[in-house]
Chains A and B, each alone.
Chain A
Amino acid sequence: MNLTYLILLPLFTAALVLLARNASQVKVISLLGSVAQLILSVGLYVAYRKEMVAGNTAQMFFEADYKWFPAWNIGFHIGVDGISVAMILLTAFVVVAGVLVSWNVSKMTKEFYFLLILLSLGAYGFFISLDLFVLFFFLEIAVIPKYLLIGVWGSGKKEYSANKLALMLMGGSALVLVGLLGLYFSYAGHSFDLMKLSSIHIPIQIQKICFPLLFVGFGVFTAIFPFHTWVPDGHSSAPTAGSMFLAGISMKLGGYGCLRVATFLMPDAAKEYATIIIILSSIAIIYGAFATMMQKDLKYINAYSSVSHCGFVLLGIGMLTQTALTGAVMQMVSHGLMTALFFAVIGMIYERTHTRMVQEMGGLLKVMPFIATTLFIVGLCSLGLPGLSGFVAEMTIFVGSWSHPDNFHRIATIIACMSIVVTAVYILRAIGQTAMGPLKEEYSTLTDAKWNEKAAVIVLLAGILAIGIAPGWLNDLVRPATEIITQKIGAVK
């Protein structure tokens, strides 16, 4: 399978969107393009699975290396392993749902959809890159559309939020860039190539400097404490699809980078700094959960809960065991789907009630059973109900974390476990006040979801259920990849 299709197809879709003559053409093109991309991604999974069953033990499948800037040893080197395939699948699901949910955007429709497709292009490129320069290039492609999406189509104090988000993510990117350059020069003959860099032992002094730069840099994307404050503002000001992409895709870029670049290339430093990572992520988990409890705006609730849930990703990485790392990847996929669905539902509710304040709603189950039921399901997924994806990911992280016998890791795990209770509190508060309770007079004429909204919900729910009911496929997909990373960590003396 040729991986370049994964970025050529969105490129093609984006070009067609620009050429489209009216808004409905734009929407149809985007939908067709994103559905085609979803089919392609599922095809990638099937092809990958076939190779795996056939006994292919290569680290990266479908590798290709095109020359780009030979003078600087930069090549367009691409390839995927189980982690990348999982992230690509996630992206494809979220993009289709995002396109569907945005059907009512009437302001500059063409530009809006163009930016959505461009953002997805950045994500796909990011997940298949094996050259760090290319990876960085796609990372930046994924950042800039967000600024515009929030700044132009956002709501509330959107300029402030857009600036904050762009500046903080750019700050993160700057750290990443410095770290990448450090790695580049550490290789004899200079290289950005991930596979080449992984084959050598990067000197410990360089690791000690580059690891924090890269981990924190990528960490900003995935809301590492205390650089998570762009999340609530960014999400609450973004348009619905913007929030979905931001939480469902962008935050995953960071987690993926922390794992693939920082931890994989620099296992010595990862071990050295694991304690700090675990402390910061434990804080994020429980602190994010408590902060969520006090929020009144649905989007703030989901944004803070994302801080807490993404803490699980970093905790899994910090634990450095194979099971915990697998759990971290699962949590990325699970959280991506779940939080995208959550934002989609919030968007649907907001479009009807024109408020996101929980105390101003009530009894919505009566007038919009489909939307309210979805809110129930996604809330239950968030609090880790078995049968939905959150349970699988969180339990994998807990079991993986618990295999460290010392008290420090135990306490961190217990803190993480405690958050599931706090999560139940804030989720039930939110659901209880919006979907349940007496219906307010002014909402009695509201209507339920339309076809595009139902379709978006079904797409994301399919993903959530596919993981929640039969997690084996995702586990089998991710485990071989995390095994290689843990082997590298295990080799550290």
Chain B
Amino acid sequence: MPNVIYILLIPILPFAAFLLLGLFGRKYIKNGAGIIGTLCMLIAAALALYIAYGYFFDYGKLDGVYRKIIPLKYNWLEFSPGISIDMGIVLDPISVMMLVVVTFISLMVHIYSLGYIKGEERFPTYYAFLGLFTFSMLGLVISTNIFQMYFFWELVGVSSFLLIGYYYDKPSAVAACKKAFIVTRFADLGFLIGILVLSYYGGTLDFNELIQRLASPESNEFKTAIASSFLGLSAITWGTVLVFIGGAGKSAMFPLHIWLPDAMEGPTPVSALIHAATMVVAGVFLVARLFPVFAISAPEALNLVGYVGAVSALFAAVIACTQTDIKRVLAYSTMSQIGYMMFALGVSGYGGEEGLGYTASMFHLFTHAMFKALLFLGAGAVIHYVHSNDMKDMGGLRKFMPVTHITFLIACLAIAGVPPFAGFFSKEEILLAAYQHNTSIYWIALITSGLTAFYMFRLYFNIFWNKEHHAHGEHHGEGGFVMMMPLILLAIGAAGAGFIHFGEFVSSDGAPLASVFHLQFSIAPVALGFAGILVAWILYKKQNDKPDKIAASVKSLYIAAYHKFYIDELYLFITKKILFNLIGRPVAWIDRHIVDGLMNAIGDLTRGIAELIKGFQSGKVQQYALYFLCGAVGLLLLFIYIWH
């Protein structure tokens, strides 16, 4: 068993860096900030590797099955007996894998940023935010309790907000960070209500107990929850669907994806870490964490996961083919790849061979983290070099940035699914799982993989080939060693990660799953991948007018895709027209004029009556005598009337 302190240090170290740099960075440790943050991450990454090694090869297995180890659990807030938020650590295959992924990618980004962000005024703040994000993400993956996960879920959301808005004086960055936060918050509303539903029926917030109770048809909680239905769906289905909405928001699934492309306003290393490799896969991780509940008790919800994933994968791939901002292409590609992970879960069953989709999804998450982080960091180097995000300003860069070129090419081959790069293996497994369980999703996935190869190589050729680049003025080269080293390390990962027998370590029920590999099955996707690359080669290797001609021939589709199918406009309409103009404005008006008007009216009425009767107290004896006389006569008349 590992010493709990070692595990605890993994999230604590980045948090310590956050506190130190956040509180004292500005004044006292301006230049050392990057080193401090990086050192903390280095130790954390080393510890994570140590824990992972121990877990997978030493103490993790019990009777041949990877078990859940909970070395720490602390009752943080008790709502009522049985229902409490516990802060704890869980070690199981997916959390340990995520510990490695998060710390490794974060370390790469920390190192890379030493060169990329150097010299900026808010250098310490940047590293503080990176620390905060890494801490929150690590806290999220080791959650033992669904509310603990929500806790860190919100924290990663806010770190993402802070980092997107890092260039806070740029209006577009401010708009983007607000949008990212609000859209994911809206999705989190679903997560929150989902937690309430599940915890009500499960009688607990603990993941383990929740899964035990809600995913075993014998338990009483399961029976009650299945029996209570709303609109024809059981309580568990509602709970899981709502939780999935939260996951879809964070993972930028259609139609909650609109924040992700805008989030590219943040510094590029941040996009690599948060909006490609780690935070955006939190939704996939969430579904994986609750997977037994989805698979056993809520098949409808799991189906939804599958279709949302598949639609997102295709939808984003189509848009990615038309974008010219290289970071946006990568953002849509991220969305598309996460779609793969999602539908892989959606087509998976629980346990044994049926659970292939689960393994494949986690495998793809792992390999994707490598090659997508690499793509973003490579794009960062390119942007650093040409000072523009737009493809039109690039071309022919292969001679000027050889390291970036080669590593970027490796990443492109990996994501396109070319053997033997990492993406090939994980994507193959996903396609196989889809083929076995849901053919319509399989076809969507197949088409998407062709598109993926095309748009990635469109990007690649546009940056590194196409027109000739004319080095004008002096250039600062590719960026120093600190920027190149992460690229090379990640390239090694992107090239070799596929050879890991992932099923040995990660499977839906913990029991090792033998890797399956069918040569004849791989032919179709690989051929499609090469076709995509070939088309990109013909269209973009050299400058020509074919792309424009093709775009013109499918004009309406091209324009719709270029405008991201107008989803942003739809949201804008909903928020501006409906929320602000139809609800907010009338409410504010009613409050000032009707509700408050009523209060003022009461005040005015009181004053009015007072004005009316204040004359009675005039102090004039004659007047009083007159009132007295009138009153007496009135009373006299009244008495006579009554007695008569």
Contact = CB atoms under 8 A, between A and B. Distances in A.
B290 interface: no
A217 to B, nearest CB: 15
Interface stretch (B64-72, B167-175, B429-437, B520-528): B167-175
B596 interface: yes
Contact of A290 (B168, B171, B587, B596): B587
A472 B169 contact: no
Contacts of B591: 229, 287, 291, 304
Contact of A294 (B77, B171, B192, B587): B587
A380 B177 CA distance: 14
A437 B595 CA distance: 35
A287 B152 contact: no
A323 interface: yes
Nearest to B121: A366
Contacts of A396: 77, 79
Nearest to A233: B596
B603 A436 contact: no
B304 interface: no
Given A369-B26, A385-B154, A435-B168, A424 B182 contact: yes
Nearest to B190: A417
A294 B193 contact: no
B174 A436 contact: yes
B83 interface: yes
Interface residues of A, number: 58
A392 B77 contact: yes
B168 A472 contact: no
Given A226-B598, A363-B168, A402-B200, A475 B189 contact: no
A293 interface: yes
Interface in B554-606: 579-580, 583-585, 587-588, 591, 595-596, 598-599, 603
B587 A429 contact: no
A29 interface: no
A420 B186 CA distance: 9
Contact of B83 (A291, A399, A439): A399
A168 B169 contact: no
A164 B584 contact: no
Task: State the main secondary structure of chain A at its contact with B.
Answer: helix
B587 A437 contact: no
Interface in B63-94: 75-80, 83, 85
A56 B369 CA distance: 56
A403 interface: yes
Contacts of A437: 168-169, 171, 174
User: What size tier do the contact residues of chain B reach?
Assistant: 35 or more
A86 interface: no
B158 A294 contact: no
A162 B585 CA distance: 27
Contacts of B150: 386
B155 interface: yes
A331 to B, nearest CB: 14
A399 B200 CA distance: 9
B154 A226 contact: no
Interface string B511-525: 000000000000000
B607 to A, nearest CB: 11
Contacts of B579: 293, 425
A291 B79 contact: no
B442 interface: no
Contact of B185 (A230, A322, A424): A424
Contacts of B469: none
A398 interface: yes
B198 to A, nearest CB: 11
Interface in A317-343: 322-323
B587 A287 contact: yes
B181 interface: yes
B199 interface: yes
Interface in A379-428: 380, 383-387, 391-392, 395-396, 398-400, 402-403, 405, 413-414, 417-418, 420-421, 424-425, 428
Interface string B304-345: 000000000000000000000000000000000000000000
Q: Which of B77, B155, B189 has the most CB of A within 10 A?
A: B77
B174 to A, nearest CB: 5
A229 B595 contact: yes
B492 to A, nearest CB: 37
A438 interface: yes
Contacts of A225: 595
A386 B165 contact: no
B151 interface: yes
A182 interface: no
A233 to B, nearest CB: 8
Q: Which of A227, A400, A435, A472 has the most CB of B within 10 A?
A: A472
A46 interface: no
Given A386-B152, A403-B200, A437-B171, A428 B79 contact: no
B406 interface: no
Given A363-B168, A399-B79, A428-B178, A421 B588 contact: no
A167 interface: yes
Contact of A323 (B79, B154, B174): B79
A245 B77 CA distance: 29
Contacts of A432: 174-175, 177-178
A383 B171 CA distance: 22
A229 B199 CA distance: 38
Contacts of A186: none
B358 interface: no
A437 B189 CA distance: 28
B196 interface: yes
A386 B154 contact: yes
A251 interface: no
A229 B596 contact: yes
B68 to A, nearest CB: 24
B77 A290 contact: no
Contacts of B587: 287, 290-291, 294
Contacts of B200: 402-403, 405
B603 A399 contact: no
Contact of B588 (A295, A380, A425, A428): A295
Given A293-B580, A402-B196, A386 B151 contact: yes
A471 interface: yes
A298 interface: no
Given A229-B596, A392-B77, A436-B174, A421 B584 contact: no
A266 B7 CA distance: 52
Given A398-B192, A428-B181, A291 B174 contact: no
Contact of A413 (B152, B154, B196, B603): B196
Q: Which of A230, A291, A391 has the most CB of B within 10 A?
A: A291
A100 interface: no
A365 interface: yes
A399 B588 contact: no
Nearest to B185: A424
Given A363-B168, A386-B152, 12 more contacts: A226-B598, A227-B599, A287-B587, A291-B584, A291-B591, A385-B155, A391-B151, A395-B77, A398-B196, A400-B79, A425-B182, A472-B78
21 contacts: A164-B599, A226-B595, A226-B598, A229-B591, A229-B595, A230-B599, A287-B587, A290-B584, A291-B588, A293-B579, A380-B158, A385-B154, A386-B150, A395-B77, A405-B200, A428-B178, A429-B178, A432-B175, A436-B165, A470-B76, A472-B78
Shortest Cβ-Cβ A-B pairs, 5 listed: A294-B588, A229-B596, A386-B151, A436-B168, A290-B587
Interface of A: 164, 167-168, 225-230, 287, 290-291, 293-295, 304, 322-323, 363, 365-366, 369, 380, 383-387, 391-392, 395-396, 398-400, 402-403, 405, 413-414, 417-418, 420-421, 424-425, 428-429, 432, 435-439, 470-472, 475
Interface of B: 26, 75-80, 83, 85, 147, 150-152, 154-155, 158, 165, 168-169, 171, 174-175, 177-178, 181-182, 185-186, 189, 192-193, 196, 199-200, 579-580, 583-585, 587-588, 591, 595-596, 598-599, 603
